[in-house]
Chain A
Amino acid sequence: MTEPTRLNRSNGLAGALLASAKTDAAPSGASRRALAGVAAITAGAAGAGVLTKVSGGAKAATALQTLARWATWKWVAIGVAGAGSVVTVGASVVTRHATPAPLVASDPASVTTGTTAATGTRATRNVHGASPQPPVQQTPPTLAAPPPELPASATVEPAIAPAPHVEARAPVTTAAALPAAPPPSPPPTRTAQPSRLAAEIAALDDAKKTLATGDAATALTKLDAYMASYPRGTLASEASALRIQALARSGHSAEAHEAFTRFRADNPGSPLLDNLEHELEGPR
């Protein structure tokens, strides 16, 4: 591969701009903080406290509050996996958040698959409208949710996580406990004992993707299936929000508004409210 000569850093404005970047460096302690945050998570210290500590702390002001809520998915997913299990279950959840890499090359054995980014941090697009409220004290809704109930058909095994409160959140269910919308093409060895949360995420993700295709009616069916399978699912509030969207987009405007009223009452201060309001204010 021919290497072109690099742009000359001593040459005028272009050079000065490029040179300025070279002197840019991470603030002191940034590396240590990041590692400490990761260590806290991998140690299984799940919960809002960890989320707060690791998600940038007070610096993560303003719009990050919304992100923090959504990031909960990721952190909870990692946290419930328990001590060190980020290497296993936690990893599966993180990677299953991933967006198909835009630049994936053809070598499947390379790092491609591993480099897909965890996108539990992705949030809604209305972030720019987020008010500059301090995010740190906010316990993400999924963390505040009561321990999920297992479907009657679930075969429960002891959680792998050592912390009791974590165990309550991370039961392992058999494939029979999967909701009607299982993850797309999950590897058989995984479906044998999928993490319940991973299954929840997969089910909601499936519904979301269906909704994105414009098939709101099918999305609605899938969301109803999710709710039937996980009446008190860890992601119940997200499911409710999606369902409201699905209702609105499938022409059930009155029902959508009714559901929204309930949602607002049940989830005061939820970051999802803005989006839902926006959704419902759209053309009907």
Chain B
Amino acid sequence: MHPEILTLPHADERWPSEGAPARVAEAPTDTQSQRLRAMVDAHFDPLWRFMRRLGVATMDLDDAMQEVIMIAASRLDVIPKESEKAFLFGTAFRVASEWRRFRGGRREVALEHLAEHEDPMPVADALLDQARARTLLDRVLEEMPLDLRAVFTLYEIEELTMAEIASLLELPAGTVASRLRRGRELFESQVARLQARSTRTR
């Protein structure tokens, strides 16, 4: 009956600066600021979409995105230029995981219940309303474990290559492939259920 222990920040054993000499505080240089801005400009929308598809609540997106940027700002000096995108997406994945955990983790929105409790219009003929379609998409994705969801989203929506995804999420290629396969299976089975339900409610 105990609630979860009050969550306090905890140390990261893999402190990236381990062994590095202590640095003296200094203001970010113009160059750093420009670099950060350029990173954000280049990747903001895909990152935002990614976090959204990972299930970060709309109300949390600003904060979550800012957190990603904050972390990037704090690590600018250790992010290789060629790894900026990987850093941002990897960070976004982890930040999204935290926000989901904060919000109570995976929302158990069983698709079975959608038709019972919600307007069946989203699954009706045309799906003209993009916002509704996205809502439905997110519900389908919600049925997917986060690790599959990340790979599925990056591949099918952001259209990254599997090699890119492996790099971004720091996964072996085989893991990306298997997660994508499982993600697709889940996605397609959920969509099929939705279609069946939609047909029945017509």
- Whether A14 and B191, one on each chain, are in contact in the complex, defined by CB atoms closer than 8 angstroms, is yes
A249 within 8 A of B: yes
Given the known A-B contacts A89-B25, A92-B17, A117-B94, are A275 and B3 also in contact in the complex, defined by CB atoms under 8 Å?
Answer: yes
Least CB separation from A192: chain B residue: B22
A73 interface hit (Cβ, 8 Å)? yes
Q: CA separation between A70 and B176, bound complex, in Å?
A: 34
Is B7 in contact with chain A by the CB < 8 A criterion?
yes
B157–A18 contact, CB under 8 A?
A: yes
Q: List A contacts of B45 (CB < 8 A).
A: 25-26, 31
Does the CB pair B130–A23 fall under 8 Å?
yes
B156 within 8 A of A: yes
Which residue of the partner chain A has the closest CB to B23?
Answer: A88
Given A13-B195, A113-B14, is A120 in contact with B60 using a C-beta cutoff of 8 Å? Answer: no
Chain B residue at minimum C-beta to C-beta distance from A125: B4
0 or 1 for each of A179-213: is its CB under 8 Å from B? (1 = yes): 00001111101101100000001101110110110
Q: A187 contacts B18, CB within 8 Å?
A: yes
Residue B140, interface by CB 8 Å:
yes
Contacts A61-B59, A121-B98 known; A190 to B91 CB distance under 8 Å? no
Known: A60-B62, A88-B25. A70 touches B7 (CB 8 A): yes
> A208 touching B188 by the CB < 8 A rule?
no
With A100-B14, A124-B3 given, is the CB distance from A35 to B37 under 8 Å?
A: yes
Taking residues whose C-beta sits less than 8 angstroms from the other chain, chain A's interface range is: 35 or more
A111 touches B14 (CB 8 A): no
Are A14 and B94 in contact (CB-based, < 8 A)?
Answer: no
Decide: A103 near B170, CB < 8 A? Known: A113-B14, A126-B3, A279-B3. Answer: yes
Instruction: Say yes or no: B13 contacts A100, CB within 8 Å.
Output: yes
B106 at the interface (CB under 8 A from A): no
A83 within 8 A of partner (CB): yes
Q: Which A residue's beta carbon lies closest to that of B146?
A: A102
A60 to B58, CA, bound (A): 10
| Complex-state Cα separation, A104 to B170, whole angstroms | 6
Residues of B within 8 A of A120 (CB): 9
B-chain residues with CB within 8 Å of residue A206 when the two chains form the complex: 11
Q: Which residues of A contact B111 (CB under 8 A)?
A: none
Of the candidates B17, B32, B140, B161, the one whose C-beta lies within 8 Å of that of A3 is B161
Q: Which of A4-12, A147-155, A251-259 contacts B (4 or more CB under 8 A)?
A: A4-12
CB B96 to nearest CB in A, in angstroms, measures: 8
Docked complex Cα distance between A215 and B37 (Å): 46
Flag if B71 contacts A114 (CB, 8 Å): yes
Partner of B102, one of A67, A108, A283: A67
Find chain B residues with CB under 8 A from A217 CB.
Answer: none
What are 10 sample pairs from A and B whose C-beta atoms fall under 8 A apart? A14-B187, A18-B137, A26-B65, A30-B44, A34-B44, A60-B60, A84-B28, A95-B15, A105-B172, A112-B90
**Inter-chain pairs besides A3-B161, A187-B20, 14 sampled, C-beta below 8 Å:** A16-B133, A21-B153, A25-B48, A35-B69, A37-B66, A110-B86, A112-B14, A114-B75, A114-B78, A128-B104, A189-B19, A189-B22, A245-B5, A272-B6
The 3 closest A-B pairs by CB, nearest first: A84-B27, A20-B133, A85-B25
Residues of A participating in the B interface, judged by any CB pair closer than 8 Å: 1-4, 6-7, 12-14, 16-26, 30-31, 33-35, 37-39, 41-42, 54-57, 59-64, 67, 70-71, 73-74, 78, 81-92, 94-105, 107-108, 110-128, 160-161, 183-187, 189-190, 192-193, 201-202, 204-206, 208-209, 211-212, 238, 241-242, 245, 249, 272, 275, 278-279, 281-283
- Chain B residues at the A interface, C-beta cutoff of 8 Å: 1-28, 32-33, 36-37, 40-41, 44-45, 48-49, 52-53, 59-63, 65-67, 69-71, 73-80, 83, 86-87, 90-91, 93-95, 97-99, 101-104, 123, 127, 130-131, 133-134, 136-137, 140, 147, 153, 155-157, 159, 161-163, 166, 169-173, 176-177, 180, 184, 187-188, 191, 194-195, 198
